[in-house]
A = this chain, B = another copy of it.
Amino acid sequence: MITPVILCGGSGNRLWPVSRASFPKQFAPLVGCETLFQKSALRSLGAEFTNPLVVTNSNFRFIVKEQLQAISITPDAILLEPAQRNTAPAILAAAIYLAQQDPETAMLVLPSDQMLHEVEDLKVSLKLGLAEVARGQIVTFGITPTYPETAYGYLEIPKPVKHGPLQPIGFIEKPDAARAQEMVKSGSFLWNAGIFLFKAKDILTAFETHAPDLVKQVTKAIKTSKDDRGFYRLEAEEWASVENISIDYAIMEKAQNLSVVHLACGWADLGSWDAIWRESPKDNEGLTMSGATTSIGCNNTLLRSDSEGLEVVGIELNNIIAVAMTDAVLVADISRAQDVQKAVDALKAKNATQASAFLKDHRPWG
């Protein structure tokens, strides 16, 4: 049995105006009708899985509960972070929590802002991973890159690429365009999917070796935490002092017992609007539409309305993202979708009060 550990406590601005501080992208139906969080939870259904353990920010607890109910999934528990930290503290908290019950528990860590498709081989990869885990390895999954994405992390692996478990040689975070091109061409790099598999006790050993201070802090936060009607609240004062560090920096780049398993599937980190456009079903002209929208001759364009009474009409647009909500409309060149962060910063600077409404107080799906 594997316990899925779903991480959904993050929040960002690059998918503004749909993604807000109080309603981040993983809880929005960005591609298809399920949210990214729901897609992650549905991904780990089956006889080999227990109910999932969810780690999220305290602010999102009711969204998580409702969205799991809507797809008839009962969580094993929902761990609540009092403040946003990176992946290392979240995974460590989950490991400590699960080890209290059974240190041998195999944990499958799943981010909740990804698209996976054509996942026929997922079970094959999991089986390979479990064999590694059985001998005490920490497993990270890698995806064959299909284009030189500069926003992803890469795993360097020994040539030639085999499907079996590999020892990674190195980690490269967000390379520039030229380096990404080289890496994809070389065939000895995989995208780092941020999906991990390990026993609770083995990741705890790794944390004790490479991040002993973090273990002390998170252990305290767990020990004084409280079970609040199915929510397991980590203690706020202890959590405040917990280091904001990713599992890659804290553990993966240091651990000696790391194995890379190849995951043969379509994969995307839905981190920006161009990625959403790429991953959405499109017509022959590259047009994707959702909500109340009308197109007259648009190509390679995403039209989206998240407000029932707000019709978005596009005329002869090329390579444009147009996303409308009741309080904000984003219109961007598709190749500059990463600059949404700049726009959000500009909004903040322009009008703090107004911006706070844009960035925090909106919740379009009830």
* Residue pair B311, A333 in contact (C-beta under 8 Å): no
Which of B292, B315, B332, B347 contacts A336, CB < 8 Å?
A: B315
Number of copies: 2
* Residue pair B324, A324 in contact (C-beta under 8 Å): yes
A6 partner residues in chain B, CB cutoff 8 A: none
A166 within 8 A of B: no
* Residue pair B331, A294 in contact (C-beta under 8 Å): no
Instruction: Report the bound CA distance from A297 to B331 in whole Å.
Output: 12
* Residue pair B294, A343 in contact (C-beta under 8 Å): yes
* Residue pair B333, A318 in contact (C-beta under 8 Å): yes
Q: Add 6 more A-B contacts to A296-B346, A329-B329 (CB < 8 A).
A: A292-B354, A296-B342, A297-B336, A313-B347, A317-B331, A322-B322
Q: Which residues of A in the span 33-53 have a Cβ within 8 Å of any Cβ on B?
A: none
Q: Which residues of A in the span 310-364 have a Cβ within 8 Å of any Cβ on B?
A: 310-318, 320, 322, 324, 326-333, 335-337, 339-340, 342-343, 346-347, 350, 354, 358
Which of B309, B314, B324 contacts A332, CB < 8 Å?
A: B314
- Tell me the minimal C-beta distance from A322 to chain B in angstroms: 5
* Residue pair B294, A316 in contact (C-beta under 8 Å): no
A337 partner residues in chain B, CB cutoff 8 A: 315
- Tell me the minimal C-beta distance from A9 to chain B in angstroms: 27
- Tell me the minimal C-beta distance from A223 to chain B in angstroms: 45
Instruction: Report the bound CA distance from A330 to B303 in whole Å.
Output: 11
A310 partner residues in chain B, CB cutoff 8 A: 326-329
- Tell me the minimal C-beta distance from A135 to chain B in angstroms: 50
Instruction: Report the bound CA distance from A310 to B325 in whole Å.
Output: 8
* Residue pair A329, B317 in contact (C-beta under 8 Å): no
Q: A346-B296, A350-B294 are in contact. Are A315 and B332 (CB under 8 A)?
A: yes
Most buried by B among A310, A339, A340, A347: A310
Most buried by B among A313, A318, A358: A313
* Residue pair A329, B339 in contact (C-beta under 8 Å): no
* Residue pair B315, A343 in contact (C-beta under 8 Å): yes
Q: Which residue of B lies closest to A349 (CB)?
A: B294
Most buried by B among A330, A331, A337, A340: A331
* Residue pair B333, A313 in contact (C-beta under 8 Å): no
Q: Which residue of B lies closest to A294 (CB)?
A: B346
Q: A296-B342, A339-B296 are in contact. Are A332 and B317 (CB under 8 A)?
A: yes
